[in-house]
A and B are shown apart, each in its own frame.
Chain A
Amino acid sequence: MDFSRLVRNNQNYKSLKFIVHSKRRQSSVPLSNELKVKDCTGDPKISKKTISLLERISLVDFGNEEGVKRLEAAIRFAKLLKTYHIDESVKPMYSVLEREKLRLREDKVNEGDCREKILKNAAVVDEYYFVAPPGNIPKE
């Protein structure tokens, strides 16, 4: 589901905001222009430093201003959660299987001797090695 679309322009979160808070019935979409959302508008300005940090740890580029705007919109949207107070006693739920018991595998060798198959999808291979350019050179 593409929620990046919904944060692509600044109006979107407002309409969502509307959906979230309004009990008033509306018969059609869109609704964004009818709304005046006052809170949650603290525009998240992303610093140059954060941008370059994110690019380095993500190893993808923002590309252009649009990319940065998309991030800002995503953050704005996410900030809606902040408006809701959650009690301290509520523990994070990382999986719906948190009460399940992890099944364990017997210690047997039954995989892995398949070098040809492993290497088949690699674009560059030499003497059965995968090949990468030199490491430990920080991204410029």
Chain B
Amino acid sequence: MKLSGNPRILYINKWDKCISYVWYCRNAFSSSTQPKLKDNNFFCREKWNSVVGLEIHAQIASKSKLFSGADTSFAKPVNTCVSFFDCATPGTLPVLNKRCVEAAVSTSLALSCKLNEVSLFDRKHYFYADLPAGYQITQQRQPLAVDGELKFRVFTPGVHKKAYVKLSKIKQIQLEQDSGKSLHDELERRSLVDLNRAGIPLMEFVFEPDLTDGEEAAALVKELSIILERLGTCSCKMEEGAIRVDANISVNKPGKPLGIRTEIKNIGSVRNVATAVRYEIERQILELEAGGVIVNETRAWNDEKGMTVPMRDKEEKQDYRFMPEPNLPPLHLHMDESIENKYDLVNVPLLKSQLPELPEAIRVKLQENFGLSSETAIIIVNELVLLQYFINIMKENNKRSAKRVTNILITDLLTSLNNKNIQLNSCLIPYQHIGEVVDLLENRNINITVARQILDILIDDSESSPRQIVERNEWFQITDETELIKLCQSVIDDNPELVKKYKNGKKKLLKAFLGQVASRSERRADMEQVTKIMERLLST
């Protein structure tokens, strides 16, 4: 099986399904990192199962930190968002942020979790320069929510023919603090510690090991991030570290017990989730096939080298010595609508009533109402910007062809943006303009080539309307039959040799004629009509 032009090792997961890539819109295959495994053993590979479980940390979108009133803004000057509590000043105590509880409750509800009416906080102990208290406050014994599930679709254009649905169970969702950041100054042998991130609120999602490969892992992360974005409970800016993924991975032979697992820590992009997990599965298989053993260890994904590497602190297994956080009484939630909320607790029924429509429901709706395919629905919903375009364009004029709209968005707009290296989120084109492009196409005022050129212009200049651009450039499609006949005839007249060959049976040459018509008309000719006219003229 060939992927991305590179020979790859083929392995079979427990459902004998080929590994595929999930679609990441424009960035799908732009990653430079590829596993650097040799492709020996290609043909003699035995079957292996692979088991993947994820733990995902998502920063909660809040103004202030989980337990202090310090700012959570990203990229602030070093150590300017640090309260006394955040730097573990003796005598300071945690005070829980209501917004963080509400965000985690909404998220738990969206993931069909069972909320614990009473949850507890615990200390998890380990020494690290960017963990000033020597422990992290988290929820271990009795987390905020348990027993949820996330259903998501796995689909990678070009790899999967069809999308398939996957379900991963959620063991628990807990609130916890983020750590600070250490900059390692190798030259001077020291770490520089910035505590701006210390104490930023996190939701940790602990998933059961229900996945089989990197593609599913990446699709899960993507789906979770769409949900969080819809809920507004996380910025989901992975480039800012708003979502970080730890993956537990093991491989085993079918029918044999599960293998020893390794953990890859802190994977920072959806793309890297797929590549890192795939790499690690392959590494483990190679190791075992070479007669080696897998050790239970923590590894890191090295993006530059495109490989997982063992982390240096792997001595004995860590004993975190969990202990109840004595400075935080139990967190109670208001669960029952029929009872008065007299302690002003976080109101679960209220939050439930305010949940927005979730991506899976939107996809189903898109398929039902607009006849989109599952695959198209996935791509549209995966990008909030595309979804908003789609909905707005269709709302503006529901006569428009949904298929044409999705084609323009998925194929043409994304390609244009990609060519100019512009993020979808930075696309300033008003939806009305894109709608107008669709209409111009629909009315055959322009052809698809012109449509793409218009999009290119709109990306740089979102002020002009598509119609103005077409007028300015005289790009209207030539649909007048007499004019088109004239054009075709002139090409025929200029190419007597070709005409002779065509008439002798070289019908393939039709394309050459059409090409000349297109270029003579500066690609404005309605090629559908031209084809018919040309065939007619040549057959006489």
Determine direct contact between A and B, CB below 8 Å: yes
Instruction: Give the B-binding residues of A (Cβ under 8 A).
Output: 53, 56-57, 59, 94-95, 97-98, 100-115, 117-119, 126-138
B311 touches A136 (CB 8 A): yes
* Known contacts A105-B96, A131-B193, then 18 further A-B pairs from the complex at CB < 8 Å, ordered by chain A residue: A102-B328, A104-B97, A105-B69, A106-B98, A107-B63, A108-B63, A109-B64, A110-B64, A111-B70, A112-B83, A113-B71, A113-B80, A127-B192, A129-B192, A130-B194, A131-B190, A133-B189, A136-B311
A138 touches B315 (CB 8 A): yes
The CA of A129 and the CA of B81, in the complex, are separated in Å by 13
A-B pairs with beta carbons under 8 Å apart, 8 shown = A53-B316, A56-B315, A94-B324, A108-B64, A108-B69, A113-B81, A115-B80, A134-B186
A136 touches B98 (CB 8 A): no
B95 touches A105 (CB 8 A): yes
> B100 in the interface, Cβ–Cβ < 8 Å?
yes
From known contacts A115-B80, A130-B195, infer whether A107 and B64 are also in contact, taking CB-CB under 8 Å: yes
Task: Write out the residue numbers on chain B whose beta carbons fall within 8 Å of the beta carbon of A104.
Answer: 96-98, 101, 346
Q: How far is the CB of B314 from chain A (nearest CB, A)?
A: 9
The CA of A103 and the CA of B128, in the complex, are separated in Å by 30
* Stretch of B30-38, B329-337, B385-393, B460-468 on the interface side: B329-337
> B183 in the interface, Cβ–Cβ < 8 Å?
yes
Task: Write out the residue numbers on chain A whose beta carbons fall within 8 Å of the beta carbon of B68.
Answer: 111-112
Closest to B313 in A: A136
A134 touches B312 (CB 8 A): no
B82 touches A115 (CB 8 A): yes
Task: Write out the residue numbers on chain B whose beta carbons fall within 8 Å of the beta carbon of A57.
Answer: 125, 319, 321
Closest to B95 in A: A105
The CA of A98 and the CA of B329, in the complex, are separated in Å by 6
CB interface residues, B 497-517, toward A, < 8 Å: none
The 10 A-B residue pairs whose C-beta atoms are closest, nearest first, are A112-B70, A107-B99, A111-B69, A104-B98, A129-B192, A132-B129, A94-B324, A111-B83, A130-B193, A110-B69
The CA of A132 and the CA of B345, in the complex, are separated in Å by 41
> B164 in the interface, Cβ–Cβ < 8 Å?
no
From known contacts A105-B95, A138-B315, infer whether A129 and B79 are also in contact, taking CB-CB under 8 Å: yes
Task: Write out the residue numbers on chain A whose beta carbons fall within 8 Å of the beta carbon of B82.
Answer: 112, 114-115, 118
Instruction: Give the A-binding residues of B (Cβ under 8 A).
Output: 62-65, 68-71, 77-87, 95-101, 125, 127-129, 182-184, 186, 189-195, 311-313, 315-316, 319, 321, 324, 326, 328-332, 343, 345-346
B312 touches A136 (CB 8 A): yes
Closest to B184 in A: A134
A137 touches B312 (CB 8 A): yes
Task: Write out the residue numbers on chain B whose beta carbons fall within 8 Å of the beta carbon of A109.
Answer: 63-64, 69-71
Residue of B78, B83, B191 near A134 (CB, 8 A) is B191
Task: Write out the residue numbers on chain A whose beta carbons fall within 8 Å of the beta carbon of B97.
Answer: 104-105, 107
Q: How far is the CB of A112 from chain B (nearest CB, A)?
A: 3
Task: Write out the residue numbers on chain B whose beta carbons fall within 8 Å of the beta carbon of A113.
Answer: 70-71, 80-81
B191 touches A135 (CB 8 A): yes
The CA of A127 and the CA of B77, in the complex, are separated in Å by 11
B191 touches A107 (CB 8 A): no
Task: Write out the residue numbers on chain B whose beta carbons fall within 8 Å of the beta carbon of A106.
Answer: 98-99
Pick from B62, B182, B321 the residue with the most CB of A within 10 Å.
B182
Closest to B72 in A: A109
From known contacts A100-B329, A107-B100, A118-B87, infer whether A130 and B79 are also in contact, taking CB-CB under 8 Å: yes
Closest to A92 in B: B324
Q: How far is the CB of B188 from chain A (nearest CB, A)?
A: 9
Task: Write out the residue numbers on chain B whose beta carbons fall within 8 Å of the beta carbon of A56.
Answer: 315
B81 touches A112 (CB 8 A): yes
Task: Write out the residue numbers on chain B whose beta carbons fall within 8 Å of the beta carbon of A126.
Answer: 192
From known contacts A100-B330, A113-B71, infer whether A118 and B98 are also in contact, taking CB-CB under 8 Å: no
Q: How far is the CB of A76 from chain B (nearest CB, A)?
A: 21
From known contacts A111-B83, A112-B82, infer whether A135 and B69 are also in contact, taking CB-CB under 8 Å: no
B324 touches A101 (CB 8 A): no
The CA of A138 and the CA of B314, in the complex, are separated in Å by 9
The CA of A129 and the CA of B346, in the complex, are separated in Å by 37
